[in-house]
Structure 1
Amino acid sequence: MTQRSTDTSDDAAPQPTGADDDSARREQDAIVTALTPVIDGIATTLGSCCEVVIHDFRRPERSVVAIAGAVTGRGVGGSMSEIGMKVLASGDTARDELNYLTRTQDGKLVKSSTMVLRDTRGTVFGALCVNLDVTAVTQAHTLIGEIAGVAATGPEPPTTAFGDDIGTVLDSIVDTHQLRRNKPWAQLTRTERLDLFRDLDERGVFAVRGSVQQVAGRLGISRASAYSYLAATRNDDGPGTS
């Protein structure tokens, strides 16, 4: 059964500022409405291993506006993943991300495709995502390979945080990218700190409202320092704080 947002509050999406914006908003709303029964059909066809999600980037903090199936544990009002943030940060140049593998924090292996939603003006305003739990299939493949004497090869898929709380997703992304540097913030060089902020920015973390303050808290630095490092990466200059 499809879960669909019934949020009609004024802050559910940015309000139009003119006739063109109003027309665009109505068109985008119509696209979401038209796709909602489609996702139920896709999920029903592919079975219990499938989840189909509609994201509305006009409300990035709770972008899930419709969902059919249950793979990632999210509901309506849930947040986008790191892939979604990357698509959001790309704006109208965003491209579909197809057939990629990730692993959830509870160990599920998920095969996904993220397809951007555009209106007739070419504006990217959301995404349609299909998530397939292929854990059992992969385990069977591994078992058959072992019986046949063929070892499984390939890199381990990255772990992706899925959740209804955007704060949890942001914390997971920051932790993951900081751990890759194998040093706490205090031991990072200026260049490494800039690289960390540049990496987070390129992945769309700072496209979410309130994310700078949350990243600062996760790293144990002041909000002013976080803004300074972010500005520095965007201006190719160094911050004056640490």
Structure 2
Amino acid sequence: MNKKEIIEILERIAAGISQTFGNDCEVLISDLNNPDNSIISIYNGHVTGRKVGDSLSELGLKAMKEKHVEHDLINYHAKTKDGRLIKCSTFHIKSGKHWLCLGINYDYTNLAMAHATLENLFKVEESMKDEFYANPNEILEGMISDAFKLVGKPASLMNKEDRIKVVKYLDERGALVIQKGVQIVAETLNVSRYTIYNYLNEINEEKKHPVESK
């Protein structure tokens, strides 16, 4: 394959990549046998500010000097003179005396800024459990289920201490302010509403006069 044929193939690939990834994606073809005027073709050259006839990049010149051209360079980081963030890949093509490369330089500066903005938006100062339901009865059902898991017994096997523990847990989570919350909890625990209120009184008294541990 002669040089012209190689360039024609690379031109098709370069044009396709630049159209696929848009204006932030620079794609160029370089002649490594002519480092001073290396760029043969370039799409979206505004990304790095280069044009046809310009020289290799600093990394390209260094790679040639150190002869690191036997392998492709994939997804490495670079910066433009004005500080824009670029991710790059370079593919080397050698055929006889012809030595060309296809370079892809994607400007992801705006994406990095958007990422930083989203990261700041998602940041929270304190982790607290909260769940959202359309129906308050669903909230209460979830809280009751959690309370039963805490005690580890079905209602039929609970003693008074277990039931007080359930009521205390539900009261602290605000379950009893839900409309008919007290009634639903009472029915679930197989006790009367008045028993629930008595439990609440005992809980409040305990808060006012906690029993000292022996």
| Superposition TM-score tier, normalisation by shorter sequence | 0.5 to 0.7
**Which one-letter code corresponds to 1:41 in the other structure?**
G
1:101–1:111 CA contact under 8 A, matched in 2: yes
Residue among 14, 18, 22 paired with 1:47: 22
Report the secondary structure of 2:51's partner residue: coil
Does residue 83 (structure 1) correspond to residue 59 (structure 2)? The answer is yes
Instruction: Give the share of equivalent positions with the same residue, in percent.
Output: 34
CA separation in 2, counterparts of 1:113 and 1:50? Answer: 11
Q: 2:38 corresponds to which residue?
A: 63
Report the secondary structure of 1:53's partner residue: strand
Does residue 94 (structure 1) correspond to residue 70 (structure 2)? The answer is yes
Does residue 147 (structure 1) correspond to residue 147 (structure 2)? The answer is no
CA separation in 1, counterparts of 2:65 and 2:25? Answer: 26
> What are structure 2's unaligned runs of at least 5 residues?
125-214
1:97–1:115 CA contact under 8 A, matched in 2: yes
Q: 2:85 corresponds to which residue?
A: 109
CA separation in 1, counterparts of 2:5 and 2:86? Answer: 30
Aligned-pair CA distance for 1:65: 0.4
> What are structure 1's unaligned runs of at least 5 residues?
1-25, 151-242
Deviations along 1:70-93, whole A, 9 cap, x unmatched?
A: 311111001111121133234485
Q: How does 1:1-242 map to 2 (within 5 A)?
A: 27-70=2-45, 71-91=47-67, 93-119=69-95, 121=96, 125-149=99-123
1:94–1:124 CA contact under 8 A, matched in 2: no
CA separation in 2, counterparts of 1:79 and 1:93? Answer: 17
CA separation in 2, counterparts of 1:135 and 1:146? Answer: 17
**Which one-letter code corresponds to 1:72 in the other structure?**
T
CA separation in 2, counterparts of 1:94 and 1:84? Answer: 13
1:53–1:68 CA contact under 8 A, matched in 2: yes
CA separation in 1, counterparts of 2:76 and 2:114? Answer: 19
Aligned-pair CA distance for 1:144: 1.4
Q: 1:210 corresponds to which residue?
A: none
Q: Which runs of 4+ in 1 moved over 6 A?
A: none
Report the secondary structure of 2:111's partner residue: helix
1:52–1:131 CA contact under 8 A, matched in 2: yes
CA separation in 2, counterparts of 1:137 and 1:33? Answer: 32
Q: 1:95 to 1:86 in 2, by over 3 A?
A: farther
Q: With structure 2 as the length reference, what TM-score do the two structures score?
A: 0.53
Aligned-pair CA distance for 1:117: 1.2
Structure number with the bigger relative contact order (C-alpha 8 A, sep ≥ 6) is 1
**Which one-letter code corresponds to 1:69 in the other structure?**
N
Report the secondary structure of 1:132's partner residue: strand
Q: 2:179 corresponds to which residue?
A: none
1:88–1:94 CA contact under 8 A, matched in 2: no
1:111–1:131 CA contact under 8 A, matched in 2: yes
**Which one-letter code corresponds to 1:98 in the other structure?**
I
Q: 1:64 to 1:82 in 2, by over 3 A?
A: same
Aligned-pair CA distance for 1:149: 2.8
**Structure showing greater Rg:** 2
Report the secondary structure of 1:75's partner residue: coil
Q: How many residues align?
A: 123
Report the secondary structure of 1:95's partner residue: coil
